[in-house]
């Protein structure tokens, strides 16, 4: 009897003392894939080689937690990438979107635009399925469902660098030729002699195509093939892009752009009016260059970017004489 009492007492002590130890040793949940912007960009860069669509919801939530979705106009590359993931995974697109929630209202425009840009035939039905989860974004949702909200295909270069950013994102997710063709068509603006905005956006499209093509042979092949299909206004700049990519001499494109912008500022008939544009859309154009270069691994270019699409004031000097 005495031994039984001792055994019972020992079990009680173990239950009281051991319980906290058991709790302390409880295995932790799965470690997050992303904690820094650089990790997100690295994952995007490697996505086509190792597609992991199921990780896209975590990426979206991480971007929100890092504050990279607060200025949606600077998040084009992330919107386009998410759209590409959804568009290339039609069978699970709705489930992927569902796992992006909960998401604060200020971050929800990414989800709305990504669904609209996805290219899914039933994208409106997918968006409608999440109306109740985004009551604060009813106006924006209705714009795409019933109003004049544009799909990625309908966005033109005149929408600004955001459209080019979004097309880059879609390409990084899918490897599709279609978004590349849209960016290529913008090259016609790289020779514009009357509008600084067009010249700058065209120049940034030219530079990002060349720098990304130096490390992306699939992209380089697409660009070469486009030589047979583009207009005369595009073929000239495109030929320069291909040559710069094959010879790894992208710096010349930058110098030529600087010179062209300098001439237009000095001699263009609307230079004085257009100059004010540099403080606004100019930074957006530079943002696309920073992000696209970062995703492609061109950190050695030394552009002082704030990862996530935003650009520092110092980066404005990249295309400023």
Question: Which of 66-70, 172-176, 283-287 holds the top average pLDDT?
Answer: 172-176
Q: Is the pLDDT of residue 16 over 60?
A: no
pLDDT in tens, 205-221: 888 899 889 989 999 99
Strand partners of residue 305: 311
Question: Shortest CA distance to 187 belongs to which of 218, 208, 211, 166?
Answer: 208
Q: What is the 3-state secondary structure (H, E, C) of 191-252?
A: HCCCCHHHHHHHHHHHHHHHHHHCCCHHHHHHHHHHCCCCCHHHHHHHHHHHHHHHHCCCHH
User: What pLDDT does 158 receive?
Assistant: 76
Strand partners of residue 311: 305
pLDDT in tens, 292-319: 444 444 444 433 333 333 222 222 333 3
Q: Are 64 and 72 in contact (CB under 8 A)?
A: no
Q: Is the pLDDT of residue 120 over 60?
A: yes
User: What pLDDT does 289 receive?
Assistant: 45
Q: Is the pLDDT of residue 133 over 60?
A: yes
User: What pLDDT does 31 receive?
Assistant: 62
User: What pLDDT does 26 receive?
Assistant: 47
What percent of the chain shows pLDDT beyond 90?
Answer: 47
Structure confidence at residue 161 as a pLDDT band (50, 70, 90): confident
The backbone torsions φ and ψ at residue 32, rounded to the nearest 5 degrees and listed phi first, read: -65, 145
User: What pLDDT does 301 receive?
Assistant: 40
Question: Shortest CA distance to 163 belongs to which of 140, 189, 137?
Answer: 189
Tell me which of 55 and 195 has the higher pLDDT. Answer: 55
Question: Shortest CA distance to 268 belongs to which of 206, 200, 183?
Answer: 200
Structure confidence at residue 8 as a pLDDT band (50, 70, 90): very low
Q: Are 73 and 281 in contact (CB under 8 A)?
A: no
Structure confidence at residue 165 as a pLDDT band (50, 70, 90): confident
What's the average model confidence in pLDDT over 43-60? 93
CA gap 264, 278 in Å, rounded = 13
Task: Reduce the DSSP state of residue 305 to 3 states and report it.
Answer: strand
221-230-167-251 Cα dihedral, nearest 10 degrees: 70
What's the average model confidence in pLDDT over 91-116? 97
Q: Are 148 and 191 in contact (CB under 8 A)?
A: no
Task: Reduce the DSSP state of residue 311 to 3 states and report it.
Answer: strand
Q: Are 158 and 185 in contact (CB under 8 A)?
A: no
Mean residue pLDDT across the chain: 78
Task: Give 185's contacts (C-beta < 8 A, 6+ positions apart).
Answer: 157, 230, 234
């Amino acid at each position: 009897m005495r031994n039984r009492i001792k055994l019972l007492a020992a079990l009680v002590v173990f239950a009281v003392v051991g319980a906290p130890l058991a709790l302390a040793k409880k295995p932790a949940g799965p470690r997050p894939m992303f904690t820094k912007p650089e990790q997100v960009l690295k994952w995007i860069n490697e996505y086509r080689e190792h597609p992991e669509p199921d990780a896209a919801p975590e990426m979206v939530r991480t971007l929100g937690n890092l504050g990279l979705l607060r200025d949606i106009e600077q998040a084009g590359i992330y919107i386009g990438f998410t759209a590409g993931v959804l568009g290339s995974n039609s069978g699970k697109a709705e489930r992927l979107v569902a796992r992006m929630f909960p998401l604060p209202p200020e971050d929800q425009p990414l989800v709305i635009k990504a669904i609209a840009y996805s290219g899914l035939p039933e994208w409106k039905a997918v968006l409608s399925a999440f109306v109740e989860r985004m009551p604060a974004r009813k106006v924006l949702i209705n714009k795409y469902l019933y109003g004049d909200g544009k799909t990625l295909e309908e966005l033109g270069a005149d929408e600004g660098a955001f459209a080019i950013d979004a097309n880059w994102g879609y390409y990084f997710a899918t490897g599709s030729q279609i978004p590349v063709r849209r960016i290529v068509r913008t090259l016609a603006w790289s020779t514009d002699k009357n509008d600084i905005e067009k010249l700058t956006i065209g120049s940034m499209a030219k530079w990002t195509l060349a720098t990304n093509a130096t490390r992306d042979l699939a992209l380089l092949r697409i660009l070469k093939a486009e030589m047979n299909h583009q207009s005369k206004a595009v073929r000239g700049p495109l030929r320069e892009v291909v040559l710069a990519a094959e010879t790894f001499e992208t710096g010349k494109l930058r110098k030529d752009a600087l010179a062209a912008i300098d001439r237009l500022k000095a001699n263009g008939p609307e230079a004085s009016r257009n100059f004010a544009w540099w403080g606004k859309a100019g930074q957006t154009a530079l943002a696309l260059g920073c992000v696209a270069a970062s995703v492609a691994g061109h950190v050695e270019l030394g552009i002082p970017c704030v990862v996530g699409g935003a650009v520092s004031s110092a980066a404005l000097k990249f295309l400023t004489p």
